[in-house]
Structure 1
Amino acid sequence: MRAITYAKYGDADVLELTEQPDPHPGADAVVVRVKAASVNPVDWKVRQGHLDGLLDAQFPVIPGWDVAGVVEQVGLDTPELRVGDEVFGYVRKDWVHGGTFAELVSAPVRTLARKPSTLSFTEAAAVPLAGLTAYQTIRRAGVRADHTVLVHAAAGGVGSFAVQIARALGARVVGTASEANHDYLRSLGVEPVEYGEGLAERVRALAPGGVDVALDYVGGDAVAVSATVLAPGGTIASITDPAARDEHGGHYVWVRPSTEDLEEVGAMIDEASITVEVAQVFDLEHAADAHRASETGHVRGKIVVEV
């Protein structure tokens, strides 16, 4: 099969299109014919070696955790799925090796769910990691209908899902973004604020009593700023900064594959509570360019690679 691989850590230039052996399913896994995959910041952080020691790499690495495709082969004990099923998933395994930037990927059934019927494969590939991250941080933080929620990087891949899920729960949402993305956030029912110096004052102007939940999807000083605008009893959840948990009694979240959670996100998409924003689409041969685009840090929505 054709696959994007890298044989050592480095910049996007280490990515190359190669021929690799077709994968085989384990007892509780299936082989998926990949229609599309998507890029997440963690993909290029792993490629650069920043997660070495946390995630063991087996070279050559096929990158990518998000997938949308069709089940082509099933394992010995996979009653959940059949050949021909259209699926999407967050195919994170215990090591970094056989990822989704390939024509075929072996995926444990616990990482997959049936593709939302309202989405194309390209759109569905944009959902799993970002959608699950948003859903799991919101659930961990206990967002309710009577809450005011501050979302950092609200127009980004994870943030754009988080604001929609929080709004679907009935919460009021304030989101940080550049001025260019304010109209987009307003279209999602979000009250936008410019990030950068003076953010705390701008948030207080919108929520004088403080915010009940702050969700950090960007890092930097987001947790520190969030702590200054929390209402009494408020909660911070972060996917980038353990200080949210260790210094402020909140939550530090590392997204987990979950069929059940992915089904919940998919149901919200099919019910039109969530829309999917695809920023750019690349073909497999230009996956390195997809990584480079993600590394700019100025992407609204998700970058997808079609296979």
Structure 2
Amino acid sequence: MNTACLATINGFGDAFALALRSTPCPEPGPREIVVQVEAAAVNPIDVRRRDGYGRRLFSLMGAARMPLVLGNDFAGTVCAVGRGVTGLREGDAVFGVKPPSNAGTHATHVTVRAEHVCLSPPSISAEALSTLPYNFLTVTRAFTDAGISRETVKGRHVLVHGATGGLGQIAVRLLHGLGATVTAVGGSDGLDACRAGGADELMDRHRQSLAALPRHFAATLNFASWEDETELLRLLAPDAAGHATTVHPLLGNFDRLGLLAGGVATLIDKRDRRRMTPKNSRYGWTIFRPNSSALLALSHCAAALAPPSLKTFAFTQAEQAYLHVKQRRPGRAVLLPGQI
């Protein structure tokens, strides 16, 4: 195939519809491969970026240029290999991630650095596999930011706020595997999946208050709401490993205040919360970054982390896929670029 198809936007906000655009197939550069995409997840960050979230900082990275193709996760087949690539060849089934860019994975073909790709495990479908890399890499980075390891949490209590979302479900399963006693906080609709994933204690965030919980947690993770950050920090035990959040205001501060004032506001916000953590505990604002070792680890456990339900969309239904995520409908949204 000499032509690729991209799901693009030409501006931020609902006024700019997703449009399918044809373009010549990309060619791999040194240490790059081109993947024919079989499945690509649509994540909440894609919906937010489409509305303009983070555009000030992403513009500095060249990741907000129009036309813009969103998406970070993918699973597919290698169709071209660049100079210097070893261990991969045309025809290999692979999965991986792309860092934020203006040439994301919501496309029939995507160029990606070879180090950001792994061979696909045979025990999981491409559709399910494509939903995991962005979330898994973010969660494992949050673990590092919060000082979470088997040594620091085995036999101890860990709280996951936002446990019913994509990040939270993975965190619950991984923490259970580390031997932690997991408290899962989230909406009632997803708590049964948390129990199936190994959560020991379930809390419906709409019916119970975080303030009612004991202050005995070795670590807390916030995947839900920045407004709850202070309350979560108050739940840490005196000898806690730490806390990490993915819902910090870093990108929002820059969007709202500009680069200079936003940077100052970010430093103040983070400093003030860090002061609330117990002595020697870690405090981290987690951001997504590709990580080859974490991706390799995912290849060994992907089948155990597959989401409980999927909702697939043909490429011509890209608009519906984004709406599915925006309206928080059940099932992980997956685009199938080969179905045009």
Answer with 2-11 or 243-252: which moved more. Answer: 243-252
1:69 paired with 2:100, answer no
* 8 Å contact kept, 1:91–1:112: no
Match of 2:280 in 1: none
For residue 138 of structure 1, give the secondary structure of its aligned residue in structure 2. helix
The 1-side partners of 2:50 and 2:99 are apart by: 15
Give CA-to-partner distance per residue, 1:243-289, whole Å, 9 cap, x none: 8843333101112101210111221235x4x3333432111111111
* 8 Å contact kept, 2:159–2:221: yes
The 2-side partners of 1:155 and 1:198 are apart by: 15
Q: Deviation of residue 212 (structure 1)?
A: 1.2
Q: Which structure has more helix as a fraction of its residues?
A: 2
Match of 2:53 in 1: 50
Q: 1:199 aligns with which of 201, 209, 220?
A: 209
1:99 paired with 2:132, answer no
Answer with 6-15 or 242-251: which moved more. Answer: 242-251
For residue 55 of structure 1, give the secondary structure of its aligned residue in structure 2. helix
Structure 2, unpaired ranges of 5+: 250-265, 275-282
1:115 paired with 2:115, answer no
For residue 13 of structure 2, give the secondary structure of its aligned residue in structure 1. coil
Structure 1, unpaired ranges of 5+: none
Q: Deviation of residue 292 (structure 1)?
A: 1.2
Q: Deviation of residue 197 (structure 1)?
A: 6.7
Q: Deviation of residue 160 (structure 1)?
A: 0.8
The 2-side partners of 1:12 and 1:303 are apart by: 22
Shift in alpha-carbon separation, 1:139–1:219, aligned structure 2, 3 A? same
Q: How does 1:285-300 map to 2 (within 5 A)?
A: 285-296=316-327, 298-299=328-329
* 8 Å contact kept, 2:97–2:133: yes
Aligned-pair RMSD on alpha carbons? 2.0
Give CA-to-partner distance per residue, 1:131-160, whole Å, 9 cap, x none: 111122113322231331111111111111
The 1-side partners of 2:306 and 2:70 are apart by: 26
Percent identical: 28
Q: Deviation of residue 301 (structure 1)?
A: 5.8
Match of 1:214 in 2: 220
Q: How does 1:1-307 map to 2 (within 5 A)?
A: 1-11=4-14, 13-56=16-59, 57-93=64-100, 96-143=101-148, 144-190=153-199, 191-196=201-206, 198-202=208-212, 204=213, 208-234=214-240, 235-241=242-248, 245-249=270-274, 250-270=283-303, 272=304, 274-296=305-327, 298-299=328-329, 302-307=332-337
Answer with 131-140 or 168-177: which moved more. Answer: 131-140
Counterpart residue type for residue 171 of structure 1? A
The 2-side partners of 1:12 and 1:290 are apart by: 17
Radius of gyration: which is bigger?
2
* 8 Å contact kept, 1:167–1:189: yes
TM-score (norm 2): 0.82
For residue 97 of structure 1, give the secondary structure of its aligned residue in structure 2. coil
Q: Deviation of residue 37 (structure 1)?
A: 0.1
For residue 226 of structure 2, give the secondary structure of its aligned residue in structure 1. coil
Counterpart residue type for residue 70 of structure 1? T
For residue 306 of structure 2, give the secondary structure of its aligned residue in structure 1. coil
Give CA-to-partner distance per residue, 1:174-198, whole Å, 9 cap, x none: 1112222222211112121011474
